[in-house]
Structure 1
Amino acid sequence: MAPKMKQSTKGNKQIIEENIATLKFYRNMSCGSTIFHILVVFIFFEPFSGLQMIMTILTIAVHLGSYYFMSMMSRPQYTDGGSILDSGSDLNLEGGIAEHVKDIIILTAGTQLLSLLSDFFWLLLLLGPLRAAWIFWNSVVKPGLSQKNDAELSNERKQKQSEKKMKRVR
């Protein structure tokens, strides 16, 4: 059995390089799906209908906003001498906000491509707000409710104990 080794941490330079590669990958995914969608609609279908135009503009806006957010998150800071002061946020961390933004890009790109088969696939974009509500419920609302219930239970216990003490005194 091999001895357990401590997992090495990433250096600032490696984080910056991986962030650049990640941004490039998701930029290419966004641009590729959008360009393919527009070309297929112009070549094989009648010109954009109202729904297709609105949804295409919406997905382009989501792609641009998500990419801009990820690029701002991962922007490194340098000193005047050119050395790395801060590498920015690591876009490849599991469980971070960048993971959710990448999921948004994947969802919108997939929806754009599937909408070529049927306009009903645009409804898949509703999964984004549903997932956001689910995350909000599990991380904010549910823990808050359980804390109130725990506090109420502890207050009831304290009240019962004080009533028992009062009965003993009498």
Structure 2
Amino acid sequence: MAPKGKAGTKGKKQIFEENRETLRFYLRIILGASAVYAAVNLVIFYSAASAWTWVSARHRLLPRRGHWAAVRPWPSQLTAASLLQVAFIFSLVVYGTSYRSMNSMAKPSFTDDGSLADGGIDLNMEQGMAEHLKDVILLTAIVQVLSCFSLYVWYFWLLAPGRALYLLWVNILGPWFTAESSPAAQEPNEKKQRRQERRQMKRF
């Protein structure tokens, strides 16, 4: 047991096992949210997003007076179906990018005899890049499921780029601007200090 007040050091085997469980857990979240989204929009809301809009973009053909005539869907149905398609594709892109990044970070390495040499980067490490990727997956899954009731829920996904901009300012841009302004602020202080030293010398 690790000493009280200190974080225990994980071994490479423990990191490997925990990373594998973490990847499985988030893969189940991705598959579950995508399945719920597809099922609700394809089955329950079939009238608003008919199956053909998910499979192909071709028009339906119906016989009319000896020839086949193209029957176009209502504009409202086409717009709703297009938005559902875009949202679904966007979710898949976010899921794929985040999960693939986590998988590459947790990729282990083995020796020639098959023993574990490195368990990869710990995906459960606090304040790590993996934590942000997991947050993106969870946010996307929650928004995706809730968007079955209203597409306006997707506006909540803007929290992700907002969080990214905040971290960019705090960790990179903010310190950079502060470092540039600090030398300019030090010059007046140095001048004041020299004046005080001269005054003290005159007194003596």
TM superposition score normalised by structure 1: 0.89
Find out whether 1:61 has 2:93 as its counterpart.
Answer: yes
Amino acid at match of 2:14: Q
Amino acid at match of 1:109: A
1:119 alignment partner in structure 2: 151
Deviations 1:68-105 (Å, cap 9, x if unpaired)?
A: 10000000111112222221100001100000000000
Range with greater deviation from structure 2 (154-163 or 112-121): 154-163
Q: How many residues align?
A: 167
Query: Cα–Cα, structure 1 residues 4 and 32, in superposed 2: closer, same or farther, change >3 Å?
Result: closer
Amino acid at match of 2:138: I
Query: Cα–Cα, structure 1 residues 4 and 91, in superposed 2: closer, same or farther, change >3 Å?
Result: closer
Answer with 1 or 2: which has the greater Rg.
2
2:83 alignment partner in structure 1: 51
1:84 alignment partner in structure 2: 116
3-state SS in 1 of match to 2:161: helix
Instruction: Quote the offset at 1:122 in angstroms.
Output: 1.2
Task: State, as a whole percentage, how many aligned pairs show the same letter.
Answer: 37
Find out whether 1:27 has 2:59 as its counterpart.
Answer: no
3-state SS in 1 of match to 2:117: strand
Deviations 1:29-84 (Å, cap 9, x if unpaired)?
A: 01100011001111111226111100110001110111110000000111112222
Query: Cα–Cα, structure 1 residues 6 and 120, in superposed 2: closer, same or farther, change >3 Å?
Result: closer
2:104 to 72, 80, 88: 72
Find out whether 1:150 has 2:182 as its counterpart.
Answer: yes
Structure 2: tracts of 5 or more residues without a match: 54-80
Find out whether 1:98 has 2:130 as its counterpart.
Answer: yes
Relative to its length, the structure with more strand (as a share) is 2
CA RMSD of aligned residues (A): 2.0
1:133 alignment partner in structure 2: 165
Query: Cα–Cα, structure 1 residues 146 and 83, in superposed 2: closer, same or farther, change >3 Å?
Result: same
TM superposition score normalised by structure 2: 0.75
